Amino acid sequence: MNPIPEQKIHDTLANANLQLAIYDATARLMHKRRTALDNPLAADFEAWREQANRIKRHTIENLDHYLEQLEQNLVHNGGKVIWARDATEAADFILKLAKDNNALRLVKSKSMTTEEIDLNERLEHHRLDVVETDLGEYILQLAHQRPYHIVAPALHMTRYQVADIFTERLGVAREVVIEKQTMIARAKLREKFLTADIGITGANFLIADSGAVVVVENEGNARLSSSAPRIQIAVAGLEKLIPRAQDLAIFLKILGRSATGQPLTVYTSFLAGPRRAGEIDGPEQFYLVLVDNGRTRVLADRDKRQALYCIRCGACLNHCPVYRKIGGHNYPWVYSGPIGAILSPLFHGVTEDPWLPSASSLCGACGEVCPVKIEIPKILLELRNDVVKAKQREGSGKLERWAFRIWAFFMRHPKLYEMAGMAAPAILPEASGGAWIQSVALPLRIGPLARWLSQRDLPPPAARSFRQQWRERRRQA
Ligand code: SF4
């Protein structure tokens, strides 16, 4: 069981520049989304959400059928499907493929699934040169950090920090103009694209009826990663499936708008196997690594399997008051924000980070903006319930259980409840300043409730209970 990273969270909250960077960037993304949805072209957005939800539900409930169909069509196109049960199997396959083909350099486009399985670390451990080619990911790779956000991985960095990283890691003169920083990265990355043996992409969607991998992006780096090297690998979670190519129209419309406020992202690439006879570009070998890594366990949970509908748009992060304060690096896994607070416990078990489902105000904003209508607040509540049950099984959380039992007893016996309310002011010591615990109940502040009470207090019991006051008013009326 991992403890809550209190010190790291305090440091984030105390860092005014970081707070401003997170707040500004998420506010910009929210504003862009809102503007995109206010456009008459998006008048049917709610209907698109409904349809996307229906398609995802149908696909996830028939995943075995569509996975087989995808494999058949992809093999028919000349590609190969690799089924990886976990991170090790996925990385082992890529490593062996690189060795068998004497590959030394791999270029990668942004992929949360490869982050999830620590692919870079595993390949670098075997002295392979792995280069991130998405600008944000490239900056983070140079800085040895993991993504801060699903869509905008370097959202927390200022251009001044990027200038320092480029100077230190690339040996270039300090440059703080963003366009010029982009040109520096572009020049460095061009050379990598041209000399890479293997290109790795993620997948936004896998289309069962055509055996195609669909990658959407804004920089063109995924397109270069998938066309320049002689070997192409797409790494994707099982849940990225959609049944038909025509379903894609809905998902492209909701993804760009929810993520960055774009009606469509700049590039949409369909990767459907290796180069065919007569074609002048494209890879000689094409592989799709389908990663389970806990997904089938989530699939088995009828109530929570809808978490697999996620299309990684990042909208729930931008709208989450908790993410906007604590940022992306205080979540225990690569997935942060509300979707991270449900994916991490679903993949790793609720006992690993039991505090995570409670890292939410349950304001409901995440569920309202989710383009595939995942009921995030409902799943968070169910996970909280699972945490309590797990604690009961372990025999911990006894104090909390007793407190609620006593509370429940009084709630079920209204007369006793009323008598306790009338007796409280006489029994309990008087408080000052409107805060009962801070002023009189000192033992509670140093006991097992100390952490809970450090951020909260109770008002002193009223001299006359609500019921007494209510009866008096009724009599006077
Ligand atoms: S849960 Fe919904 S809003 Fe959050 S990233 Fe996934 S699709 Fe987007």
Atom 8 of ligand 1, nearest CA residue: 313
- The whole-number pLDDT of residue 12 equals 97
Say yes or no: CB of residue 310 within 6 Å of ligand 1. Answer: yes
Does the Cβ of 365 fall within 6 Å of ligand 1? no
In a domain, 370, yes or no: no
342, part of any domain: no
Range of the domain at 54: 6-296
CA distance 318 to 298: 25
Determine whether the shortest distance from the Cβ of 29 to ligand 1 is under 6 A.
Answer: no
Residue 103's pLDDT is 97
Task: For the chain, give the longest Cα–Cα distance.
Answer: 95
Residue 33 · residue 258 · CB < 8 Å: yes
Ligand 1 pocket residue status of 314, Cβ below 6 Å: yes
Give the span between the Cα atoms of 233 and 424, in whole angstroms: 68
Same domain flag for 415 and 277:
no
Instruction: For a ligand 1 pocket test, name from 57, 253, 311 the mutation site with the most ligand atoms within 8 angstroms of its C-beta.
Output: 311
The answer to whether residues 172 and 291 belong to one domain is: yes
CA of 367 to the centre of ligand 1 (A): 8
The b-or-e profile of 6-18 (16+ CB within 10 A means b, else e) is eeebeebeeeeeb
- Top mutation candidate among 312, 336, 342, 378 for ligand 1, by most atoms within 8 Å of CB: 312
Q: Is residue 381 one of the residues assigned to a domain?
A: no
Residue bearing the CA closest to ligand 1, atom 3: 370
Domain match, 264 and 406 both: no
Q: Are 366 and 377 in contact (CB under 8 A)?
A: yes
Token duo for residue 85: 């049960």
The residue whose CA has the least distance to atom 7 of ligand 1 is 310
Q: Which atom belonging to ligand 1 lies closest to the Cα atom of 337?
A: 4
Taking alpha carbons only, the member of 364, 350, 218, 205 closest to residue 288 is 205
Q: How far is CA 85 from CA 89, 242, 291, 357, 446, in A?
A: 6, 21, 6, 26, 47
Ligand 1 atom nearest the C-alpha of 338 is 4
Q: How many domains does the chain have?
A: 2
Establish whether residue 108 lines the binding site of ligand 1, counting it when its CB lies within 6 angstroms of any ligand atom.
no
Instruction: Locate the ligand 1 atom nearest the alpha carbon of residue 314 and give its number.
Output: 5
Domain membership of residue 382 (yes or no) is: no
**Nearest Cα to Cα of residue 324 among 34, 15, 20:** 20
pLDDT given for residue 89 in this prediction: 97
**Residue among 310, 320, 322, 336 to mutate when testing ligand 1 (max atoms within 8 A of CB):** 310
Residue burial 461-474, b: 16+ Cβ < 10 Å; e: rest: beeebeeeeeeeee
- Contact 380/357 with Cβ under 8 angstroms? yes
Assign residue 150 the CATH number of its domain. 3.40.50.10420
Of 250, 298, 313, 322, best ligand 1 pocket probe by most atoms within 8 Å of the beta carbon: 313
pTM of the model: 0.88
Q: How far is the CA of 308 from the centre of ligand 1 (A)?
A: 10
Asked whether residue 390 is domain-assigned, the answer is no
Task: Look at strands 205-207 and 212-217 and give their pairing.
Answer: antiparallel
Please write the tens of the pLDDT for every residue from 110-122.
999 999 999 999 9
In angstroms, what is the span from residue 123 Cα to ligand 1's centroid? 29
Query: Which residues of the chain fall below pLDDT 50?
Result: none
**Tokens representing 467?**
């019921």
Predicted confidence at residue 392, as pLDDT, reads 84
Which atom of ligand 1 sits closest to the CA of residue 315? 3
Ligand 1 in reach of 311 Cβ (< 6 A): yes
**Domain final position from 236, 261, 296:** 296
Cα separation, 27 vs 152, in Å, equals 13
| Residues 66/208, Cβ–Cβ less than 8 Å | yes
Residues 6+ apart with CB under 8 A from 292: 83, 84, 85, 86, 238
Choosing from 60, 257, 374 the residue with most ligand 1 atoms within 8 A of its CB, the one to mutate for a pocket test is: 374
371 lines ligand 1 (CB under 6 A): yes
Structural domain contains residue 229? yes
Is 402 found in the same domain as 291? no
Indicate the burial class of 250 (C-beta count within 10 angstroms; 0-12, 13-18, 19 or more).
Answer: buried
pLDDT attached to residue 445: 61
For the Cβ of 313 lying below 6 angstroms from any atom of ligand 1, the answer is yes
Q: Is residue 334 part of a domain?
A: no
Q: Indicate if 291 and 432 belong to the same structural domain.
A: no
Q: What is the dihedral of CA 268, 270, 271, 272, to 10 degrees?
A: 180
In angstroms, rounded to a whole number, what is the distance separating the alpha carbons of residues 53 and 297? 21
- Residue 289 pairs in a beta bridge with 82, 235
Asked if the structure places residue 468 within a domain, the reply is yes
Same-domain check for residues 287 and 407: no
Among the three residues 276, 296, 316, which one is the final residue of a domain in this structure?
296
* Nearest Cα residue to 351 out of 301, 309, 397, 405: 397
| Residue after which a domain boundary falls, among 296, 324, 355 | 296
